[in-house]
Structure 1
């Protein structure tokens, strides 16, 4: 498949209305970049801003998209994964309604189904709006 990919519904376990990523922009074994346009129908929009909980979910779903696309490329069904922990979460700015945010995840360590990831989200001006470290776990 050529990037960007805008139909990612088969690559992540989340379904509408809980989808917080909509485009796969870039992918490698140790990195992924996604984007997400914030619409007024989103559950996490309040007073024309995308709330912290939505940003954190966007960060996590970007990590899930990495796993889903990696398995898709291998011709395998993606396993179920869980967030093991989230730490060092910082939300510097809430994006506004109709903005498109870009999120990138870098794989720091991966061992026996446990992955440590650094995730960063950026607004349309390429300013960092949120960061976090996440540990994800593949269910066996």
Structure 2
């Protein structure tokens, strides 16, 4: 893909995760220190139970939004997206679980980045633009 216009509806080349473990599907906004993604929750998702997207899915969506920021940064430089993982979760609050077929929007702000470790603040919003979850986490790129 060479198109750098946003939004990007197919982000599979920008993240290391592969189906069925993909929890982001669209890159909406991007800057050096911020990213906004969206994700439509389907019935084939691994984290669906009783028509709700479980806490573990919400947290993975947050982490993959951060991975999308890293992957798009690498893409803009002409490099492949690196593999990473959640290094630590300092705080997570989930007030509401998203529903099946709902599209959630996730916004991440990069607080600090040093030698492959990224500290972020992440917020998740439901289809009504209400904040339903937030977290502070560290992600780590595998070198």
Q: 1: CA distance between counterparts of 2:109 and 2:48?
A: 27
TM-score, length-scaled by structure 2: 0.95
- Number of aligned residues: 140
Cα drift, residue 63 of structure 1: 0.4
Cα drift, residue 105 of structure 1: 0.4
**Post-superposition, which runs of at least 4 consecutive aligned residues in structure 1 deviate over 2 A?**
none
Shifted more, 28-37 versus 77-86: the winner is 77-86
Unaligned runs of 5+ in 1: none
Match of 1:100 in 2: 103
Query: 1:3-35 CA distances to partner (integer Å, 9 max, x unpaired)?
Result: 110111110011100000000000000000000
Cα drift, residue 104 of structure 1: 0.5
Q: 2: CA distance between counterparts of 1:80 and 1:93?
A: 29
TM-score, length-scaled by structure 1: 0.97
Match of 2:74 in 1: 71
Q: 1: CA distance between counterparts of 2:46 and 2:140?
A: 26
